[in-house]
Structure 1
Amino acid sequence: MTKYIEKDFPIGIFSQLAERESWRKEIYRPPYYIHKWWAKRLGSVFRGIILAACENEDADILKDYYSKNCFSDVTVFDSFMGSGVTVGEAAKLGCMVMGQDINPVSAIIVQASLEKYEIAGVDKTFKTIERNIKKKIRSFYKTRSENGNIADVLYYFWVKTLNCPNCGKETDLFKSRIFSKNAMPKKDPSARAICPQCHNINQICYDNKQTTCSVCNTTYNPQNGNVNGALVTCPHCLFKFRLTDYLKKTNEPSYHKLYAKLVLSDDGTKKYEIPNDYDFKVLDDLRSEFESLNKKIPFIPIKEGYNTNQVLKHNYKFWHQMFSPRQLISVYHLCNEIKKISDYPLKRLFSCLLSGVLEFNNMFCSFKGEGTGAVRHMFSHHILRPEMMPIEANIWGTPKSSGSFSTLYKSRILRALNYKSDPFELKLKGNKGLKVPNINIPLNCNIVESYSDFKKNGASVYISYGDSAHTDIETGSVDLVITDPPFFDNVHYSQLADFFYYWLNQMLDISEDIRTTRHKAEVQDTDSDKFSEKLRGVFLECNRVLKNEGLLIFTYHHSKPEGWISVYKAIRQAGFTCIQSFPIKAEMSVSIPIQQAKIPIHLDLILVCGKSDSSGKIVDYDTKHILRKSVKKAKGQITELNKWGINTSSGDAKVAVMGRVLCELSQMADMEKEVKVLPDLENEVSLFVSDLRKLPAQKVKYHHRSEPDQLKLFESI
């Protein structure tokens, strides 16, 4: 029986849902956000994919999306489990679900997010930790305020500093003298700047280009600092030098200097102050305590890699060097409390909470500003990039803190538990998003860790970590493989996940020998041929475990030719044929990686694949025919997105066209010829897209009232 997704998929409405979800993912799908993972897919899209893959072609998908469903006779497998979106969405629909990932951090956070808990037991555990450790950790973040009272510090402001290679004097690495402003400065233009002469805090307007210090009368441009791009200027001798050249001659990371703090008074008001003797006494005491803990905190080296080389160039050689002594001591004490938890699922849950807290509590974090969550976490750019002006937050937290243990417990753990008891769906009504409850199976899963237990114990979810090219799953037992493989040359998950694994391993004793989550079989490699070979291995295993009529469905996009060629080779060499492709909204339009891209891509491609039929008749298409047919179908898809108000770019146009190219190319049923033709086709599509970019508008925006000139290019081929 033909499934709905083999014929069609309502990309417009699901892209609208995805757009709305992407703005508040932690609200609409909280179980997947108890811990950091990279490239998380949108739950509404994957719910739609699973429904369309389970139901027959005559189904009413949009009606069923907001209805009760139970596909208990459907087995779904996710071979690249990541944050567990496929697993969670399939479990909500009553499917039997299996998820595997080669990274143990993935398995830990998915198990923690989907496990069955009693809320009272979780809260009791938190209160025990709070009773045992809160007062001690909060004491590390106390100050004597200007009025003489002892008060909490919300945030400490630091700057990297070094000794000038010319005159030897201390040089601060300020990118700007403005260290605090509102997240929406046009609504609140107030800002704070640090005086370069006396280090006084001056209140200014965020766009001032000249100000005079209220203490020493020094006039300066607060927009400028000592660092301009790669160049550093010494304020004493005006010598200019490259920071990278300086770091090559040293063996340690640059030092940090405390220059400001944000104090929370008893009445709830906040005030910026310069550090005083009390603050430096706290730091001295902490350094002494850290020395006594030196042998108790394992120093794990950072391995070279695509995503870690940048931090190694800044002389960070061990994971603990990314933290201040105050942060390390606080985490050490919290780790010890979590180790005492006797119930392993609860221990795992609170280990994930603390591990997630670390994303906001290290010396790679920066200040987002007033009027929003104040801490910009370390992975906001998807890379390990040292911060010149880091922020040190209060790790236990106050009611006005951001990214702390106590606040993330409420906003992540409790929110996820409440959602799991009655998972709602988002429904759009005009400009509003409504929550539709009572239509899903609660996410309190009976999780097992072996396929034999999955089969014999009637469990609904099987989670494991290991190489997905080799599983213990029975041949021909899976109805659907629904997944999201990594990009070959972008974010190398294991290299970044090691930051969390360093701490998770201490709390959960995952392994005595392995100090990294890197694995030689990980499907990620800067070499496209190696990436394709590893991906083919996983897809071959998917082919083995799938029933003959089963489907392999995954989301994907790429901007480079080798990205498309490598994934297509893996599909075809694993014995699959591309049946359908659907462009769909991928993530929030204003996300930092999208905004920084020269050719932004807002869309993912849903690729629907079936097992190849070796008896099929070979069709000899020429490349012009394939391209013409692909552009025609892609135009229809872009037009549909246009009607639903979805903005797209020329990069998105390429995603849509390439998806159709892969489907049309599969019809040739001659794998060797297809692989030879594909580079020429990809090149022609790239030329087509480059013509789009030559038109005046860099970003192609489609509106429901009219089609822009860019769309006319679809007519010309």
Structure 2
Amino acid sequence: MNKVKEPYVQLSISVEHKDLARGNKIDHNFQIEFADQLAKLESFNKHLYRPNTYLHKWWARRCGTTFRAILKHLVDDKDKQNFYAPGGLEGKIILDPMMGGGTTLHEAIRLGANVVGCDIDSIPILQARATLTEIPLNQLKSSFNSFYDHLYTKLAHYYRVICPFCGGSHELKYVLYGAKKSCSCDEVIIVDSFVLRHNSDGSKIRLAPESFDILYDDMVFSPSQIKNKYTLLEKHQRSCESCGEKYKEDLSQPFYMRFYPIAIVGDCPENGVFFKSPDREDIDLISFADSKRTKLDLVLEKFKIKYGPKSKDLLNREITNYLDLFSSRQLLFLYNAIEELQKYESATRLKLAMLLSTSLEFNSMLCGYKGAKKNRPGAIRHTFAHHAYSFPSTALENNPLHRSRSSGTLQNLFISRLLRGYKWAIKPVERRITKNKTHKVEIKGEVDFGFEKKEFARLQNGNQNFLLIQGSSSNLKLPDESIDHIVTDPPYFDSVQYGDLAAYFRVWLKEFLPSEVNWDYELDEAAVDQQKNGNGQYKLILGKIFTECYRVLKGENGRLIFTFHHWNPKGWAGLTIALKRAGFKLVNRYVIHAENQSSVHIANQNALLHDVVFILGKSNDTQYFNWQSPNEIRKEDSYSFCEDCGTLVGFLLNSSLTEEEISAEWSQKLTKSIK
């Protein structure tokens, strides 16, 4: 294999590949350095670079700039191949069979393509429909204002607090709670830190551990007015100094009752944000909401937590239904929102429902508090700050109806998710890097909206149409050779099974949108299941999906393109076998910087920092590079490691090795490479 490198281009040429003039641009070159520069910028603030894609939480999204670059290399018209030129895929049909966050759909629609997106989970379907469907801006604003005003009028009285300075009743921003625990001789309240806030003048607002008073430095600012029996401790003190036992939470209590209010944070027009120790009125408000909780018509069975790789962490703490993750005020907010949603027409209801579901990430008793850090005053640590359930010592009960643009409020989410997304969608903006400076470039003539079609036959009339399929991509029900290109991001062998985490949102979305999608489905055909992948599920499911991709993909120039990296030989073997079962051959592979760097080290503490972009075609229709097996997988650096792994995939797809021999080859090559 001769390898030629030019500025911004990685070009792989086989001496046996005779016809470089044919095929797609991406078969022969890809602007690696250019794509890497943009992806590095975007990866830190993806929601700002592609706001219309980020209405709702989904995990492991890929950078839109990377996928735009890939799609631009599939454009036939040379005048439109430039990254900053509008369009170029008009008349083409692009499929993403594992669409997740919908990156491929959004990027392809902007380029004028018609797109098909498939996912087994309902949330990607709902998000794609909501973000690709345009509603006039005035209608969007008026609908949200009406929705918000109704909820505020009905529920604002639950979120009031008396200002300790002026004595007036004002909006509550949030309540801070400590975790209740005990040993055999004491009952304690555990918090992350006694410090509640670092002020800009260097002073601190903190808790007095002896009295629960709130102090301004060493001065009592808001004395505790509620006598309690608890000892206040920071979380690093895990065991009792007297009896030696570890402190434990009372698992017989509903989760929302395992916390004790330690500080009320309010917002006064005259005196600004203030912290105060809870008084009797504050406690009575919480108790009043608790009394209303039992009257809500929410069926426990619908919110039952099923066992899964991540949800087991809830079950292990005797949390058996999702309702218990929310305070009574939060449940009142959600219950009233369900009723109010039904007043709106379908497209508007969908956007409002997705906004509500998004707010769940910032409004649960799993939310933590980052205000103790100097650079994060008052910041919420949202429910899925990590790709798992985490349980804070200092929990934060947010006020979703606060009228300011505070983190996690409906007002803030409407502006940052829906409004900003709409404005960007009608005037998409990219970044250009010139002399180490970044400039915004409006892509005139593009929009990030489309037209939903319910049947494939109707998809082909016009441009920027989209078809959404909920179900397994192993049976797409699309005509043979009807798809021009497939661009996707398959799950990694042992990545998190996001369908399990998504149940947190799904149980509520089912209440918000009971008939919008099929809710009676199982995730058994998801490619990722950490418990089953070792038994071959990964290559089995992925093989079925790739086989279906092979069937629907057009012949000579049709391409299957995806990114991948891994350290586990089972992951690489599963991918290779799945592709080989389908019949795909490797046209080319490129190595790009990974957006989410692996913590796994391949050798000498060198982390896995790159992805392989695979370009594959149908074996009966394309001439292929004569890939040679690397003598060994280089482990000196991440780039070489990924390049060699990509090359080995190409060799194995061309080989006559059995599946057992392929697995053995990967094991032999990688076992001595990974440390």
TM interval, short-chain normalised: 0.7 to 0.9
Aligned residues: 634
Correspondence 1:22 to 2:43: yes
* Gap runs ≥5 in structure 1: 205-210, 217-223, 636-649, 691-717
Residue in structure 1 matched with residue 207 of structure 2 by the alignment: 194
Structural mapping, 1:425-574, within 5 Å: 425-455=430-460, 460-510=465-515, 514=519, 518-526=522-530, 527-528=532-533, 529-549=536-556, 550-574=558-582
Residue in structure 1 matched with residue 195 of structure 2 by the alignment: 178
* Deviation by residue 1:526-550 (Cα, 9 ceiling, x = unmatched): 2331111111111111000001221
Task: Say if 1:226 and 1:233, in contact at 8 Å, map to a contact too.
Answer: no
Counterparts of 2:244 and 2:367 in 1: how far apart (Å)? 29
Residue in structure 1 matched with residue 229 of structure 2 by the alignment: none
Give, in angstroms, the shift of residue 203 of structure 1.
4.2
Structural mapping, 1:56-67, within 5 Å: 64-67=82-85
| Amino acid in the other structure paired with 2:523 | H
Task: Say if 1:74 and 1:96, in contact at 8 Å, map to a contact too.
Answer: yes
The root-mean-square deviation of aligned C-alpha atoms, in Å, is 3.2
* Deviation by residue 1:86-137 (Cα, 9 ceiling, x = unmatched): 0000000011111111101110011001102111111110121123222333
Residue in structure 2 matched with residue 706 of structure 1 by the alignment: none
Correspondence 1:155 to 2:174: yes
Counterparts of 1:400 and 1:110 in 2: how far apart (Å)? 26
Residue in structure 2 matched with residue 220 of structure 1 by the alignment: none
DSSP-derived class of the 2:423 partner: helix
Counterparts of 1:122 and 1:257 in 2: how far apart (Å)? 39
| Amino acid in the other structure paired with 2:164 | E
More helix by share: 1
Residue in structure 2 matched with residue 289 of structure 1 by the alignment: 292
Task: Say if 2:449 and 2:464, in contact at 8 Å, map to a contact too.
Answer: no
Structural mapping, 1:226-241, within 5 Å: 226-228=234-236, 232-234=238-240, 237-241=242-246
Task: Say if 1:618 and 1:667, in contact at 8 Å, map to a contact too.
Answer: no
Give, in angstroms, the shift of residue 457 of structure 1.
7.9
Residue in structure 2 matched with residue 279 of structure 1 by the alignment: 282
Question: 579, 588, 601: which is aligned to 1:580?
Answer: 588
Cα pair distance change 1:8/1:295, threshold 3 Å = closer
Task: Say if 2:576 and 2:653, in contact at 8 Å, map to a contact too.
Answer: no
Counterparts of 1:420 and 1:615 in 2: how far apart (Å)? 37
Counterparts of 1:263 and 1:40 in 2: how far apart (Å)? 36
Cα pair distance change 1:458/1:423, threshold 3 Å = closer
Cα pair distance change 1:278/1:588, threshold 3 Å = farther
Correspondence 1:657 to 2:644: yes
Cα pair distance change 1:170/1:540, threshold 3 Å = same
Cα pair distance change 1:402/1:456, threshold 3 Å = same
Residue in structure 2 matched with residue 715 of structure 1 by the alignment: none
| Amino acid in the other structure paired with 1:609 | L
| Amino acid in the other structure paired with 1:544 | R
Decide which moves more: 35-44 or 276-285.
276-285
Task: Say if 2:405 and 2:411, in contact at 8 Å, map to a contact too.
Answer: no
Cα pair distance change 1:402/1:566, threshold 3 Å = same
Decide which moves more: 551-560 or 31-40.
551-560
Task: Say if 1:32 and 1:84, in contact at 8 Å, map to a contact too.
Answer: yes
| Amino acid in the other structure paired with 1:419 | W
Decide which moves more: 111-120 or 187-196.
187-196
DSSP-derived class of the 1:565 partner: helix
Give, in angstroms, the shift of residue 225 of structure 1.
4.0
Counterparts of 1:118 and 1:668 in 2: how far apart (Å)? 55
Q: Percent identity?
A: 25
DSSP-derived class of the 2:295 partner: helix
* Gap runs ≥5 in structure 2: 1-21, 224-231
Give, in angstroms, the shift of residue 201 of structure 1.
2.2
Counterparts of 2:25 and 2:143 in 1: how far apart (Å)? 46
Task: Say if 2:570 and 2:663, in contact at 8 Å, map to a contact too.
Answer: no
Structural mapping, 1:351-362, within 5 Å: 351-362=353-364
Counterparts of 2:63 and 2:296 in 1: how far apart (Å)? 42
Decide which moves more: 26-35 or 578-587.
578-587
Give, in angstroms, the shift of residue 512 of structure 1.
10
Question: 385, 400, 405: which is aligned to 2:410?
Answer: 405
Task: Say if 1:618 and 1:669, in contact at 8 Å, map to a contact too.
Answer: no
DSSP-derived class of the 2:88 partner: coil
Cα pair distance change 1:188/1:51, threshold 3 Å = farther
Task: Say if 1:92 and 1:440, in contact at 8 Å, map to a contact too.
Answer: no
- Report the TM-score, using the length of structure 2 for normalisation: 0.86
Cα pair distance change 1:664/1:234, threshold 3 Å = same
Decide which moves more: 109-118 or 8-17.
8-17
Correspondence 1:683 to 2:671: yes
Task: Say if 1:583 and 1:604, in contact at 8 Å, map to a contact too.
Answer: yes
Give, in angstroms, the shift of residue 175 of structure 1.
3.8
* Deviation by residue 1:662-708 (Cα, 9 ceiling, x = unmatched): 2344343545444432221122432xxx4xxxxxxxxxxxxxxxxxx
